[in-house]
Amino acid sequence: MIFMIETATFGAGCFWGVEASFQKIKGVTKTTVGYMGGNLKNPTYEDVCTDKTGHVEVTQVEFDNSKITYDELLDVFWDIHDPTQKNRQGVDIGTQYKSVIFYHNNDQKNKAERSKARQNQLKKFKKPVVTEITEAKEFYIAEEYHQDYLNKNKGVCFTF
C-alpha cells in the first residue's frame, strides 16, 4: 500500500472531546476542529451557537492510510458518542451537535453507509442510528482557543 494522508470529517457532539478521542489513535497525523455544513461563510463559535447557521462542530482528521483505515476511524466514531440522539449529545443540545459523517469521496460515502447499516443490524444501540451521511463542504477552522482544547486545559469531556 502506498503511504497517503487522507482526510475524514466527523461531527459527534462537542468537538473538544471528539478531537481528543481521535488524537489518541495511531495513524492519525493531525486533528483540527471547526465548522462545516452550514450556509454562513467564515462562522464564529458564537454564530454557530445561535443554531441558525446550519453548521456543525466537527473534527477534521488527517490520517496515514498505511497505519489506519477509514473503516477503523468509523469504528472509533461510533464508539465515542451516542449516534441515536438527534441534534444533541448529552447536555449539549442544538443542530451544531448532531451526529454526522462528512464524506470526502465516493469510497468514504460507501464505507460510511455500510458502517451505519452495520451498526443498526448489530443493534449495538437501543434506538436506531440517526447519524447523517453527507458530502463534505467548506471547512472553517474554529478559533485558536478551541484547537487541542482538552490537552491545553487539562479538561475532560463527557458526551454520553
Amino acid present at 92: D
Q: Can you tell me the mean pLDDT for 18-46?
A: 97
pTM of the model: 0.93
Q: From CA 46, how far away is CA 143, in angstroms rounded? A: 10
* Interval 73-97: pLDDT, tens: 999 999 999 999 999 998 899 999 9
| Residues annotated as part of the active site | 14
Domains of the chain: 5-153 (3.30.1060.10)
C-alpha dihedral (117, 123, 126, 130), degrees to nearest 10: 0
The cell numbers describing 51, all together, are: 443554531
User: What integer is the mean pLDDT of 131-138?
Assistant: 98
Residue type, 121: Q
Query: 73 Cβ partners below 8 Å, 6+ apart?
Result: 8, 10, 22, 25, 28, 61, 63
Q: Is residue 160 predicted with pLDDT exceeding 50?
A: no
The confidence band for 157, taking pLDDT boundaries of 50, 70 and 90, is low
3-state secondary structure 114-139: HHHHHHHHHCCCCCCCCCEEEECCCC
